[in-house]
């Protein structure tokens, strides 16, 4: 029998409460990991879309003749991704440069701003770059999405 001056929990009550907390924690951790992975995937899609849109704008301007004569072998695509950030002098302008990106987005899976590059001559699933020009970018991570496709193929 307990006295009214004694307060606290019995050992059984502590074990039951601790067990319930452990079960709840065990369910929350996988959900948190899933959410973190989804956020990274969302960031990756955004970064790829941003870089690819900049490459397309560069190509459109080059085809329209706004960037001057097309360099042989580039087919109107930028030579590197850094060119999109540094800017390109417009044809007929002395000091004016057009920039296509403010900065190179960082890859959320590798944590760096270094992307895999492909030119038009490269195989669409190739992991090596021919070096002619930048037609497409991909993530350098070897991880796979939940559906089994590598992030490098996004």
Domain ranges of the chain: 11-153
Q: Please report which confidence band the pLDDT of residue 33 belongs to, taking 50, 70 and 90 as the band edges.
A: confident
pLDDT in tens, 76-99: 899 999 999 998 888 877 788 899
The pLDDT score that the predictor gives to residue 5 is 63
**The pairing of beta strand 136-138 with beta strand 116-118:** antiparallel
The pLDDT score that the predictor gives to residue 58 is 93
The pLDDT score that the predictor gives to residue 13 is 86
Residue identified by tokens 């038009």 is 120
pLDDT in tens, 113-147: 999 998 888 777 778 787 788 899 999 998 998 88
């Amino acid at each position: 029998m307990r006295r009214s001056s004694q307060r606290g929990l019995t050992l059984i009550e502590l074990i039951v409460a601790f067990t319930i907390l452990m079960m709840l924690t065990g369910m929350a951790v996988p959900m948190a990991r899933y959410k973190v992975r989804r956020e990274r995937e969302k960031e990756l899609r955004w970064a790829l879309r941003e870089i690819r849109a900049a490459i397309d704008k560069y190509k459109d301007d080059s085809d329209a003749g706004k960037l001057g004569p097309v360099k042989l072998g580039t087919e109107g695509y930028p030579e590197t991704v850094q060119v999109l950030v540094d800017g390109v002098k417009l044809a007929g302008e002395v000091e004016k440069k057009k920039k296509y990106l403010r900065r190179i987005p960082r890859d959320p899976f590798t944590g760096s701003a270094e992307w895999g590059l492909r030119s038009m001559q490269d195989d669409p699933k190739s992991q090596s770059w021919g070096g002619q020009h930048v037609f497409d970018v991909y993530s350098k991570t070897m991880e796979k999405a939940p559906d089994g496709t590598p992030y490098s193929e996004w």
